Every structure is written in C-alpha cells, then in structure tokens.
Amino acid sequence: MRLRTAGGAHHRLQPGHEPVSPWLLAATDRARHMRELEHCQQVYRADGWQAALAPRPRNLGINPADQEIEPGGQPIPISAERAANFSYFIEHDFTAVREDRLDALPLQQTAVQIMPAWGRHTPPQVFDRQCAAELGKLLNVPIAEFPGGHNGNLTHPTAYAEQVRTLIATGRP
C-alpha cells in the first residue's frame, strides 16, 4: 500500500498477513507443508474443492462450523463465484506456492516496510502463522496481530480494516 499523508509524505507498507510462503520454513516443515498442498490438489482433482478444503481446521485453523464472527457480522455464503474462486485457487495458486523460491535478500533490502502479521485465533502450529513468524525473524521486525484467524478479513471485516488503518498510521503493530 502506498499512502500519501496530508503533509505530502509518502509511506509504503505491505502487511504480510499469514503469508503462504513455505520457503520461509525449515526444511522438514516446508516439505510437510508442500505435501499438504499437493495432497489438497489431488483431492480437488478427484473430488472437488469442498473435499480438498476439508482439512482447513488442521491446515489453516479455520473451522467454518465453529468460528468467531465480530458482533453484527454475517458469515459470507459460498456463492457460485466463490466456489469458482476456490477451484482456481487450489488448482493454480497452490502450484505457484509450491514452486516459489523467493530470494530473501531483496526483502531485507527493500524500501517498502513489510509488516508480518497473523490472526489472533490462528493456532501456533498452523504453517502460515509459522511463515509470519519466520518472516518477522528474517526482517527483524515485530509481528502485527489481526482480529480473527487466517480469514479474519471475512470474519472481522470492521476490526480487520481498523487494524490496517492503525498499521498505516503508525507503521508498527
């Protein structure tokens, strides 16, 4: 995000909320997660996106049947468009994640302030929370905490947006 303040100054901030970046993990954890992604794709190809996402409680800490929603919030229904997005995500984005080999040095040298973040309700053993922790270590910066879990932008949209505004305004968690 690029923000121009009232005084004309520009700030660049990139929140990295639970980045799906297995390359940040230690070899054993990375290999385990890569197998999980590949398995999800195999299940998707055989049985569809709903079956492929069945392990969400373990893999992402998301249990649609038991997740906190901010007061006044409503669960977002799975429309035909969202179902198509899930299909595309599993088929294409999981492959991109598995094949990604980002060079860490440019991340450490960028002028953009990268702010790793995780959801308050994402369990510590979930891989993308671990990726946020490793990104924080790599960049030697604190981790921002967002409301909700991995999908806090959907379960806590108002509080999530407020946290984004706070990070932009202060540049710190």
> What would the pLDDT profile of 8-46 be if each residue is shown by its tens digit?
555 688 899 999 999 999 999 999 999 999 999 999 999
Per-residue pLDDT tens digits for 58-92:
777 888 778 889 999 888 888 999 999 999 999 99
Q: What is the pLDDT of residue 53?
A: 87
If we measure between CA atoms, which residue out of 78, 21, 61 comes closest to residue 150?
61
Q: Residue 144 — left, alpha, or beta (φ > 0 → left; ψ -120 to 50 → alpha)?
A: beta
Question: Which residue type does 62 have?
Answer: I
Here the tokens at position 130 are 């671990």
Per-residue pLDDT tens digits for 114-151:
999 999 999 999 999 999 999 999 999 999 999 999 99
Angstrom CA distances, 135 to 9, 67, 72, 89, 141, stand at 27, 26, 33, 23, 8
- 29-32's contacts with Cβ under 8 Å and 24+ in sequence apart are 29/127, 29/130, 32/127
- Comparison of pLDDT for 54 and 132, the residue scoring more: 132
According to CATH, what is the number of the domain 2-170? 3.40.50.1820
Instruction: Return the domain boundaries, the chain.
Output: 2-170
Q: How confident is the model at residue 5 (pLDDT cuts 50, 70, 90)?
A: very low
**pTM across the whole model:** 0.88
Rounded Cα gap, residues 154 and 38, in angstroms: 26
Q: What is the pLDDT of residue 47?
A: 96
